[in-house]
Amino acid sequence: MGAAVLRLFHRTDPAVTFYNQGVPKSKDLEAKLATIEKQIGVFQRISRLMVRELSLADTLQSIVNLVSQFTECDSTLLYLIDSDELVLCASSNPNASQIGRVRLKLEEGLTGWVARERKMLAITAEAYKDPRFRKFSDLQEDNCESFLSVPVIARNRVIGVINVHHRSPHRHTGAEMELMTTVGEQVGCLLVLARMASSTIEEANHVELVMAHGHIARKGEE
Amino acid sequence: MGAAVLRLFHRTDPAVTFYNQGVPKSKDLEAKLATIEKQIGVFQRISRLMVRELSLADTLQSIVNLVSQFTECDSTLLYLIDSDELVLCASSNPNASQIGRVRLKLEEGLTGWVARERKMLAITAEAYKDPRFRKFSDLQEDNCESFLSVPVIARNRVIGVINVHHRSPHRHTGAEMELMTTVGEQVGCLLVLARMASSTIEEANHVELVMAHGHIARKGEE
């Protein structure tokens, strides 16, 4: 039974296994449970944001704040693609003059690499030494030690990147990496949802839509 | 510390507290952890379904199956509103002849009540004795003992209902109720997302959208 629990910790948080050797097992479990309950809380709050009719800017601001609280990082930045650039659209360190103005080239830097490769990137320390790194902006985040970056996906396409920055070295946990992957998907959905006028939903016949899509799929499979 | 853990169990699963009295605390924690990891797994899988371009009928089918596995229920049914009726659009007991054909009046029955009131309804046993219950269809689910029903919400409006049925009496856990609330929101988002053509997303300028929405919100607040 002990082995099973160790494996559980290994899968989602390798650091905890080492740290907790010799500590009673229930303490490990309590810590793990607290983390995973926080993770569920973030998903539930984002889900609630997705059905409310808030301004998109405010919703994205709430999401970067939730991510910052969960990861206990120094800042969370959300970039969205605008032709060949990534434009800063939300920041947990809000500075009105930077939002919409900080622009990174898609073909350069760690953030551009994540967008192009559609891969998560987790760097524990000395992120600025990564060969993919180049300093492009005046953001203090560009001097950070640790960097976790995930693509924002909408309809199976990369439309942006979310970056979690720690000024000091930080070993990202499995829970943080899992959470960020899902947040990247949820932000993508939110951006698509924001394009739909309320009237379209109110007047929509969802039953017809399901039936029509079902038939299309079946025809496609033939 | 023990009190904190008890409260934790109470909040999400009152039944576990009674069942586990005298059992080592780590066993309680392991059981709780296993449940909550399953819950996270369901959210992550639905999130992945939301960014893929599957047929809507297949996606809804996958979701009712995920809910059935998580709740270990006998069936999960998804109804969507079509004017003054709720139409069966997905079922974990798939019967092609019932999908799109079973129709419940919005002003009648437990399912109609959930749609009208926008409330979750959890009945442990003898659901068929509930004064709001009336048998309308030939579905065997209408004879179930236990019934958990949540509204499907899109853009802050009820557009359907998801029902989880147990043939035998069943005390719904906090985890089940929390999960179903979020699934109701996610299914609502999925139905809105399905209306957007891929080309709209590919050609969309998400940055402009965020900036425009931010300004609109600020104007509205003035």
* Residues in chain B within 8 Å Cβ distance of A159: 201, 204, 206
**Are B53 and A202 in contact (CB < 8 Å)?**
no
Query: Is the pLDDT at B20 greater than 70, yes or no?
Result: no
Res B208: pLDDT: 79
Query: Rounded to a whole number, what is the distance in Å from the CA of B181 to chain A's nearest CA?
Result: 9
Q: How confident is the model at residue B7 (pLDDT cuts 50, 70, 90)?
A: very low
ipTM of the assembly? Answer: 0.73
Q: Report phi then psi at B33, rounded to 5.
A: -65, -40
Q: Quick count: other Cβ atoms within 10 Å of Cβ A8?
A: 19
Res B182: pLDDT: 94
Name the helix (H) or strand (E) containing B216: helix B206-221
| pLDDT mean over B126-139 | 74
* Structure-token pair, residue B39: 């819950």
Q: Which residue has the higher pLDDT, A127 or B119?
A: B119
Provide CB contacts within 8 A for B42, sequence distance 6+: B66, B67, B70, B179, B183
Q: How confident is the model at residue B28 (pLDDT cuts 50, 70, 90)?
A: confident
User: For chain B, which residues make up each domain, given as ranges?
Assistant: 55-196
User: What pTM was estimated for this model as a whole?
Assistant: 0.77
Query: Is the pLDDT at B86 greater than 90, yes or no?
Result: yes
**Are B182 and A47 in contact (CB < 8 Å)?**
yes
State whether residue A188 sits within 8 Å of chain B by CB.
yes
* Residues in chain A within 8 Å Cβ distance of B207: 80-82, 87, 89, 100
A&B contacts, CB < 8 Å:
214
Q: Which residue has the higher pLDDT, A15 or B73?
A: B73
Query: Is the pLDDT at B116 greater than 90, yes or no?
Result: yes
**Which option is the CATH number for B55-196: 3.30.450.40, 3.40.50.2300, 3.30.300.30, 1.20.120.450?**
3.30.450.40
State whether residue B214 sits within 8 Å of chain A by CB.
yes
pLDDT mean for each 10 residues of chain A (222 residues): 28 40 73 91 91 84 95 94 92 84 89 94 88 68 86 91 94 92 93 74 73 50 35
Lowest mean pLDDT: which of A91-100, B46-55, B126-135?
B126-135
* Structure-token pair, residue B175: 């985890």
* Residues in chain A within 8 Å Cβ distance of B89: 206-207, 210-211
Res B91: pLDDT: 93
| pLDDT mean over B192-214 | 72
Q: How many helices (H) and strands (E) does chain A have?
A: 8, 6
Domain A2-197 in CATH 3.30.450.40? yes
Q: How far apart are the C-alpha atoms of A150 and A187, rounded to whole Å?
A: 11
Query: Is the pLDDT at B136 greater than 70, yes or no?
Result: no
Percent over 90 (pLDDT), chain B: 45
N-term to C-term CA, chain A: 48
- Adjacency order of strands within the sheet including A85-91: A103-105, A85-91, A75-82, A157-166, A146-154, A121-123
